[in-house]
Structures are given as structure tokens and as C-alpha cells.
């Protein structure tokens, strides 16, 4: 995003929400000192995490229940009168504060004909508000030594900033100002729409296999909005109108639909007063946030689909519908994902790429989101081999999970990987905030921030086999073959020459 040349003094003088920064003489020397302290502390945390991971892995290799459990994240959970959920977690290891503001709106909340709106609106949120000029939001943050950005998923839109601790009032004021008084005008809207369209071109349409995810979800879903990806379609972006944008803002960018998470060097009681001072003044929504998202019908028969794209090699996809994030079955499915596709020694990559040499690349994942989603595996077919061979191999690997229990070594490897990821991904204030916010927003239960570790560590081989038998059934399956343009008519992909 473009960073405009504005002054911090203008933010200090902004009248409507009474911003007052602490220690204005902090300056760049203080920022540098803070960063040095942060770097030293980060290195210490990394070494500690590495030791914990090593200990967890060694202990787990002897007995699962002996794995070292990472420390719980402390937090304070409150709700403001206007409906804003607030999560505070003190971390005094470094003199910084990280803010994440999660709006519970993503691409699944878009109505037909208006796909890409959540992502488009992420861009619009940096285009100015009553007291902040376009692009000034990130400028003010960078000038005090901080950084910020945003991202959009199927379920949420997240804005985040990290600043020296004494500049917490600045980021609270900035978020409050754009939540309450975002500037939406035709010229800015038209410009950002073109930016998003160009992003779609270079990130998806111009890349080989760039549209793979979009094709998978379009074919796998019939009615649920997971059918389209967050980037949206070019036609829908072109059809969007300024009135639609304003309605989207007034519907979803309201305190009742937002969760503010702060992790860092602060006192919780004092910080909650600051949050009330700035964000507590944002008006409540004028109408209820809609949650009328259509459910996907249960699949009754296998579907086999073949189509063509301007790709250099064929791709084969085997996809199954699975459950939602937080469901008891979601935890063994995470383990299944690691056994099948986490790393070069996982079953899918080892079988299709190294052993049988059917594919130049093979991977998969369980995409476990707020609503039921997909578990899929992909093979990019090796020249001289056929898509049918790759499809058969992928299906065999899914069937093997159902008929034979995974080995003790495979299960332990998956748990070791999870323990490693769990510990290392809770090192920084940003990562801690993400864990807390995800639990509060997606699970609707912040206690899962810490509770999931024990669930994963206690998952057994029988749990893995049970979920495989539950979800990896023929009637719940889609087999998708994507051929290079013209390959089916020429017969080149079916020669099977070696």
C-alpha cells in the first residue's frame, strides 16, 4: 500500500477523539533501543522455544502424555456497551504492543453477484476517515517505528499493527476513527477496484495453476459461499457499485461484529480504560449483523469432472467434504493432514513423487474453517504419465487410511510436528494475538486457545481411522481432472509413455 508523506503532529492534533500520545520525545533513538531489546528478547524466546520443542519431541517419542505442555496464555475478556469484544493479554518481554482487530466478515458473507467485496473493503479501510487522510493510517504508524497491514479470509477480515508500547493510544484512535467515520467516495472506490482487479490478474490469472484453488471450490460447492474465493470474480468486481460498498460497511464494520485483541507491554486495567475511551464511543450498529449463510447439501454420489485450462501439465484433485473448525473430528483430521501431506516424507508426496514417479508435485491439506469445508489432495502429473494413474494413487492413499491403522511412527511424527508448530507459533506477540482472536471469533470459545494442545496430544490411531472412514467415502468425493488446453482431443495425456 502506498505510504503518504504526512506528519505525526497532525495526528496529535486531531480533535474529535481527543488523542494524546504518551512520551512524545521517545523519538527514533528510543525506537532503536526498543528494537534492540526486542531482538534480544526474541532470540531468548526462540532458544527457549527450541528447547521446549526438543523436550516435547523427545518426551513424546517415549510416551505421548509425557510431552512438555507450553505455558497457557493469560488473558482478560470483556465486552463494551456497544458490543465490541475485547481481549487483553499482558506480555512484558518486550516494550511493544500488538493490536489485531478482527471483523467477523469474509468472503462467505458476500451475496451472489458481489464476490470479492470483503477483500475490496480491506483496501478501502486504508483510504481515509474523518480525521485521517488516505494512506495516512500506515504512515502514522511507521513514523513511530511501528508496522501494520491487513488480510482477508473466507471467514474474517483482520487489521493489525505493532508499535512501541507508549503509542498504543495512537493505534486505538486510528482504529476507532475508521470504524466510526470511514471515508467512502466514488473516486477512491473506482481506483481501489482497479487495484484489486490487477491483483487478481497477477496473483491468479497470470500464474500457472494460479486458478487451481478457485476451480476446486467452484466445482466442489453448490450453494455455500465457500464456492468462491476471497479475491472474487472479475465480473462481480466490475459490477460493484458505491452504494453496495456503503451498505457493506454499515452492515459488517460495526462494534458488535468486531473483536479487538491486544498483546504486549501494558497494564490490563489501564489499557481497558483506553479501549473504552477510544472505541467505546463508536456507535452501535443500526441493524443486526446477518448470519443467514446457506448450508451445503450432503453429497450422495461421487462426482468426476474433467475440464481444460491453459496449463503446461495436467492436474488431478481428489476432494472430500469435511467438518468445521472446533468440531471434535477436526482434530484427528489435522493429524491426517500431517500424515498425508506435511513434508516430503509424508505419504502423498513420497508415494507419487519419489516412489512411483507419477507426479512432479503432490500435496494436500485439510482446509478446516468456520463452516464445513474440504480435505483435498493434488497431483501435478509427470510428463509421460497419465492423470488416471495419479488419481488411482491418491484414492489408494485415502483408502489405506480407512483399512489400515497408521503406524506408531507416523502418528508420533504428526504429533511432534504439531507440538513444534504449536510452540513456535506462540512466540511473538502477533502470534499470541492471532491464537486468542481465532479462539474467540471462530470457535466462539476463548478457552480453546490453550485447550487444543491436549486434544491433539491425546489423539489416537483409532481416531485417525474413524475420521477417515467417516469422511473419505465414495459418495462424499469429487475427482477433478484438469488437462492442458487441447490435450484431451490430441490424446497426448493418455499415452502413458515411459
- The widest CA-to-CA distance across the chain, in whole angstroms, is 74
Are 123 and 192 spatial neighbours (Cβ–Cβ below 8 Å)?
A: yes
Q: Which three cell numbers stand for residue 372?
A: 464445513
Domains assigned to the chain: 8-29+71-281 (3.30.830.10), 303-494 (3.30.830.10)
Beta carbons within 8 Å of 361's beta carbon, 6+ residues apart: 353, 378, 379, 380
Nearest to 449 by CA among 460, 432, 436: 436
Return the pLDDT at 111: 87
Residue 32 exposed, middle or buried by CB count within 10 Å (0-12, 13-18, 19+): exposed
HEC string for 255-278 = HHHEEEEEEECCCHHHHHHHHHHH
Return the pLDDT at 496: 43
d(CA 145, CA 167): 10
Return the pLDDT at 8: 31
pLDDT band at 188 (very low <50, low <70, confident <90, very high): confident
d(CA 261, CA 453): 21
Digit-coded pLDDT (tens) for 291-342: 999 999 999 999 999 999 999 999 999 999 999 999 999 999 999 999 999 8
Predicted confidence (pLDDT) at residue 348 exceeds the cutoff of 60 = yes
Return the pLDDT at 86: 98
Helices in 342-460 by DSSP H: which ranges?
347-349, 387-403, 408-424, 429-438, 448-457
Return the pLDDT at 166: 97
* Burial annotation 322-336 (CB, 10 A radius, 16+ → b, else e): bbebbeebbbbbbbb
What DSSP assignment string belongs to 5-58?
A: ---HHHHHT-TTTT---S-TT-HHHHHHHHHHHHHHHHHHHHHHHHHHHHHHHH
Predicted confidence (pLDDT) at residue 23 exceeds the cutoff of 50 = no
Digit-coded pLDDT (tens) for 88-103: 999 999 999 999 999 9
pTM: 0.84
Are 298 and 304 spatial neighbours (Cβ–Cβ below 8 Å)?
A: no
Digit-coded pLDDT (tens) for 237-283: 888 888 888 899 999 999 999 999 999 999 999 999 999 999 999 99
- Give the DSSP letter of residue 287: S
Average pLDDT over residues 362-376: 96
d(CA 404, CA 395): 14
> Which three-class secondary structure state does DSSP give residue 220?
helix
Q: List, as own/partner pairs, every contact residues 92-95 make where C-beta atoms lie below 8 angstroms and the sequence separation is at least 24, other chains included.
A: 92/265, 93/41, 93/45, 93/265, 94/34, 94/37, 94/38, 94/41, 94/42, 94/264, 94/265, 94/429, 95/34, 95/37, 95/38, 95/164, 95/165, 95/265
> Which three-class secondary structure state does DSSP give residue 315?
strand
Return the pLDDT at 172: 98
Q: Positive or negative, the Cα torsion across 244, 438, 470, 415?
A: positive
Predicted confidence (pLDDT) at residue 208 exceeds the cutoff of 90 = no
Average pLDDT over residues 107-121: 91
Return the pLDDT at 488: 65
Return the pLDDT at 343: 85
Per the prediction, the chain carries an average pLDDT of 86
> Which three-class secondary structure state does DSSP give residue 373?
coil
How many Cα neighbours within 13 Å face the side chain of 129?
A: 20
Higher pLDDT, 46 or 277: 277
> Which three-class secondary structure state does DSSP give residue 208?
coil
Higher pLDDT, 46 or 156: 156
Amino acid at each position: 500500500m502506498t505510504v503518504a508523506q504526512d506528519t505525526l503532529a497532525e495526528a496529535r492534533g486531531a480533535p474529535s477523539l481527543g488523542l494524546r500520545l504518551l512520551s512524545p520525545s521517545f523519538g527514533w533513538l528510543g525506537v532503536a533501543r526498543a528494537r534492540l531489546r526486542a531482538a534480544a528478547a526474541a532470540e531468548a524466546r526462540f532458544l527457549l522455544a527450541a528447547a521446549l520443542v526438543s523436550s516435547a519431541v523427545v518426551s513424546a517419542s517415549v510416551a505421548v502424555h509425557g510431552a512438555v505442555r507450553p505455558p497457557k496464555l493469560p488473558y482478560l475478556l470483556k465486552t463494551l456497551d456497544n458490543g465490541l469484544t475485547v481481549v487483553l493479554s499482558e506480555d512484558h518481554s518486550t516494550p511493544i504492543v500488538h493490536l489485531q482487530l478482527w471483523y467477523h466478515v469474509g468472503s462467505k458473507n458476500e451475496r451472489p453477484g458481489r464476490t470479492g467485496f470483503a477483500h475490496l473493503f480491506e483496501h478501502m479501510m486504508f483510504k481515509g476517515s474523518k480525521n485521517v487522510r488516505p494512506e495516512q493510517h500506515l504512515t502514522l504508524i511507521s513514523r513511530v517505528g511501528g508496522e501494520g497491514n491487513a488480510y482477508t479470509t473466507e471467514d474474517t477480515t483482520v487489521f493489525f499493527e505493532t508499535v512501541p508500547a507508549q503509542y498504543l493510544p495512537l493505534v486505538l484512535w486510528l482504529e476507532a476513527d475508521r470504524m466510526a467515520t470511514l471515508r467512502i467516495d466514488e473516486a477512491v472506490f473506482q481506483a481501489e477496484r482497479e487495484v484489486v482487479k490487477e491483483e487478481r490478474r497477477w496473483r491468479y490469472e497470470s500464474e500457472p495453476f494460479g486458478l487451481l484453488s478457485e476451480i476446486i471450490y467452484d466445482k466442489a460447492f453448490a450453494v455455500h459461499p465457500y464456492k468462491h474465493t476471497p479475491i472474487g470474480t472479475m465480473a462481480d468486481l466490475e459490477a460493484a457499485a458505491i452504494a453496495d460498498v456503503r451498505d457493506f460497511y454499515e452492515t459488517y464494520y460495526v462494534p458488535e461484529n468486531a473483536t479487538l485483541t491486544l498483546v504486549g507491554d501494558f497494564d490490563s486495567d489501564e489499557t481497558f480504560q483506553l479501549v473504552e475511551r477510544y472505541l467505546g464511543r463508536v456507535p452501535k450498529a443500526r441493524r443486526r449483523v446477518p448470519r443467514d449463510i446457506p448450508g451445503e447439501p450432503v453429497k450422495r454420489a461421487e462426482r468426476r469432472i474433467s475440464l481444460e485450462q491453459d496449463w503446461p501439465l495436467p492436474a488431478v484433485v481428489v476432494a472430500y467434504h469435511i467438518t468445521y473448525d472446533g468440531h471434535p473430528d477436526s482434530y484427528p483430521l489435522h493429524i491426517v493432514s500431517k500424515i498425508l501431506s506435511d513434508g516430503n516424507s509424508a505419504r502423498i508426496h513420497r508415494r507419487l513423487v519419489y516412489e512411483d514417479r507419477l507426479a512432479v508435485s503432490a500435496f494436500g491439506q485439510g482446509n478446516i474453517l468456520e463452516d464445513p469445508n474440504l480435505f483435498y489432495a493434488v497431483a501435478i502429473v509427470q510428463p509421460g504419465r497419465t492423470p488416471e494413474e495419479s488419481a488411482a494413487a491418491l484414492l489408494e492413499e485415502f483408502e489405506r487410511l480407512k483399512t489400515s491403522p497408521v503406524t506408531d511412527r507416523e502418528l508420533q511424527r504428526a504429533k511432534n510436528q504439531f507440538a513444534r508448530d504449536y510452540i513456535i507459533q506462540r512466540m511473538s506477540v502477533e502470534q499470541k494475538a492471532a491464537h486468542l482472536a481465532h479462539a474467540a471469533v471462530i470457535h466462539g470459545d476463548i478457552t480453546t486457545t490453550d485447550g487444543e494442545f491436549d486434544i491433539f496430544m491425546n489423539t489416537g490411531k483409532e481416531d485417525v481411522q474413524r475420521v477417515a472412514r467417516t469422511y473419505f467415502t465414495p459418495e462424499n468425493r469429487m475427482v477433478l481432472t484438469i488437462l492442458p488446453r487441447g490435450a484431451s482431443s490430441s490424446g497426448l495425456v493418455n499415452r502413458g509413455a515411459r
